[in-house]
Amino acid sequence: MPGAGTDRTKGWSERPGPVVILVEPQLAENIGAAARAMANFGLSRLRLVAPRPSWPNAKARMVAAGADRILDNAALYASLEAAIADCTFVLAATARAHDQAKLVVGAAEAAALMAPRVGAGETVAVLFGRERNGLENDEVALADLILTLPVNPAYASLNLAQAVLVVAYEWFKLASGGKLPFTMPAKSAAAPKQQLLAFFAALERELEKVEFFRPPDKRETMQINLRNIFARMQPTRQDIRTLHGVITAIAEGRKGPARGGVLDGAQAEMLRALLAEHGGGRVPSERGPARGLARLLRRNPTEAERALWQALVNDRRFAGRGFKRQTPVGPHICDFVSFPLRAVIDLVPTEEQGAAAAARGEKRAWLAARGYRVVEVGVRDVETDIDTVLDRLAAGAVDAAGASMPRPPRDGTS
């Protein structure tokens, strides 16, 4: 697998480039770091003039971080004159003015001057001096041009490897045409105006419900400002679909155990008690109203429903069993149901009136007649000992489903 930007499955850049010559480098770590910088930007020819550390050197290889081929092929020279003997064009990289009548260029201009010579097959070199005091006057005198960088004059000295990196970067940028290795992936097409207008309509409809557009005389300006915010984003189709979902979730509340809707736990219990007294919300011949009621109950759970659902979700014994909350089964809405198991978990309030208890019994009988296993769970039991409730549910609703259904192990082993 590629590391942080290093991919050994890709070919090494073999385009011609200038030679990097390090004159009497004092630290093996700097040689390794310079080799790494060269590898980053496609340079491969390294020459070392009388390096102070012994060579080859393990520290240099360690810091090179995989640029081993540059170190393996590095050429050693006893003098600078020998190192540049075959070169036709030499630049001396230095941070100090040496009072010599030589043209001074920056790294980008140096790359532009080197490129045609390298393209013509000439050997071009860039000299870098010692860490302590750089290149000496007589060494700069051997160069055709001076290469320097625009730096803070009060702190102009760069680390040796950093100086190599800047020059190598400008070279590679010119040689490669400045093309970046990757761009933002286009995963979704731009949103058409029709989709944008539909989103604006939905957004403004929901904002109207909460009286966002106040005062009325500012409504048009506020609408224009809102539309311009999204227009400046240049959203994609997927962006608009996501924003639609966000607006819907905010407006209608979330499904599942998360807090949402408009009722708190006590109010949700009152709603269920009222429904139970009137037949449990039965709608024998109309599926639509039953489903609408189920959505209302699902978005406004009681505290016991929320706690039990969260416990079911987090218990591996119930993983993959297909349990759902507040779901219509025929004319009845069940607190929790698993269609694969044909099992229903029925939450029983602590205090239940006669009519509600009778309706619950009728629902239980209806479900049992159609092959559903109904496990009743008291609200008080959920509030006081949820672990015991889960054990009883596992035995009554899950384990009783038969060995034909695979069950995940409770201890996480296979």
Q: What CATH number does the domain containing 288 carry?
A: 3.40.960.10
DSSP per position, 91-107: EEE-SS----S--EE-H
- Positive or negative, the CA dihedral 28, 30, 34, 37 is positive
**217 and 315 within one domain:** no
User: Which of 206, 221, 252 is where one domain is finished?
Assistant: 252
The tens-digit pLDDT sequence of the chain (414 residues) is 345 556 565 666 667 999 999 999 999 999 999 999 999 999 999 999 999 989 989 999 999 988 899 999 999 999 999 999 999 999 999 998 888 989 999 999 999 999 999 999 999 999 999 998 899 999 999 999 999 999 998 888 899 999 999 999 999 999 988 888 888 777 788 889 999 999 999 899 889 888 899 888 999 999 999 999 998 988 998 899 899 888 888 876 654 444 555 666 677 777 777 766 655 445 444 444 456 677 777 778 888 888 888 888 888 788 778 888 888 888 888 889 998 888 999 888 887 777 778 888 888 899 999 999 998 999 899 888 888 888 888 887 666 555 434 444 444 333
Residue that is last in its domain, among 175, 206, 223:
175
Q: Residue 384 is part of which domain span?
A: 265-401
309 shares its domain with 216: no
> In this structure, are 290 and 326 located in the same domain?
yes
**pTM assigned to the model:** 0.54
Comparing CA positions, the residue from 372, 347, 374 lying closest to residue 273 is 347
* Side-chain-side CA neighbours of residue 326 (13 Å): 24
Tally of domains within the chain: 3
Handedness of CA 347, 348, 352, 358 (dihedral sign): positive
Strand order in the sheet with 332-338: 323-329, 332-338, 343-348, 373-378
Regarding whether 277 and 238 lie in a shared domain, the answer is no
